[in-house]
Amino acid sequence: MVSRTTISYVLLFVTGCAFGQTGNSKGALSPAEPMAAIAAVRDYALSYTKSLPNYTCTQTTQQTIRPAALNPGLGRSVRTKVIEEQLSFVDSKEIRRIARIDGRPASRQDTDRLVGMSQGEFGNLLDIIFEPSTGASLRWGRMATLDRRRVYVIDFRVPQSSGYVLTEPKRRIQVPFEGLVYADAQTHAVLRIQMKCVMIPFDSRYQALDLTLDYKAARVAGRDFILPSHFALNFRTDEVIVANSGDYTNYRRFSADTTVKFEGDTQ
């Protein structure tokens, strides 16, 4: 079963996290090549999670929270935080532990107060987009360049039945999402996913959601794997705007006693 994303209520974003622009590459594809390109990227995506080792890394997120309007509880204040997490990917599931907030060890009380954080939605995003059983539509977009690499750009739309599950205080809302996948034209490796939620009900506290997730090569246990390197996750509700920008570093193989050391640790 493809796992679905659950996001807690006060997360939602976005004032214009626009899709990144890439330049068009010269040279048109033959009529048969677009379908072959989509099929090749699908094959890569469906084998991707199975090919990964169990790993651990450090996720460092810079978060900014602004009131969406003049809010008596928030006033005009802007709050910022730097959150360091130990992120492990074990048997195709994400395991998270918040270790530090603004450089200080995080208590349970500190973590309970956090809003706008990822809930583990990245780990199976490729499966949701490319697994045939989810009913997502895939359509050829164009050739482009990304970080000086020739890439395929594929449009996708995931239906409500397999969409994001947004959790409000008294209900859960599942909504479609759509966007773009950028894949290396030679290796078919996915290098970027951009998506946004659509058709959010008018009576929802949510207003918008956008995500950009970038992948790059990282070494784990002596081998190179294409793994998440950076993300921008932004949400908006009728109360707050939350912008998260995060980086993944310090990849290593996961074991039961694995602990990632953060900058400044003395033990």
**DSSP per-residue letters across 101-163:** ETTEEPPHHHHHH--S---S-STTHHHHHH-GGGT-EEEEEEEEEETTEEEEEEEEEE-GGGS
Which of 31 and 37 is assigned the larger pLDDT? 37
Q: Which residues contact residue 171 at a Cβ distance below 8 angstroms, ignoring those fewer than 6 apart?
A: none
pLDDT score recorded for residue 165: 82
Per-residue pLDDT tens over the stretch 57-72: 999 999 999 998 755 5
DSSP calls for 150-194: EEEEEEEEE-GGGSEEEEPSS-EEEE-EEEEEEEETTT--EEEEE
Length of the chain: 267
pLDDT score recorded for residue 13: 35
Instruction: Give residue 195's identity as a one-letter amino acid code.
Output: M
Assess whether pLDDT exceeds 90 at residue 162: yes
Residue range 136-144: mean pLDDT, rounded: 97
Residue range 81-94: mean pLDDT, rounded: 90
Residue found under tokens 């989509």 = 38
pTM of the model: 0.82
- Separation between Cα atoms, residue 156 and residue 141, nearest integer Å: 9
Assess whether pLDDT exceeds 90 at residue 137: yes
Give ∠ CA 104-106-110 in degrees, rounded to 5.
Answer: 120
Residue range 10-22: mean pLDDT, rounded: 38
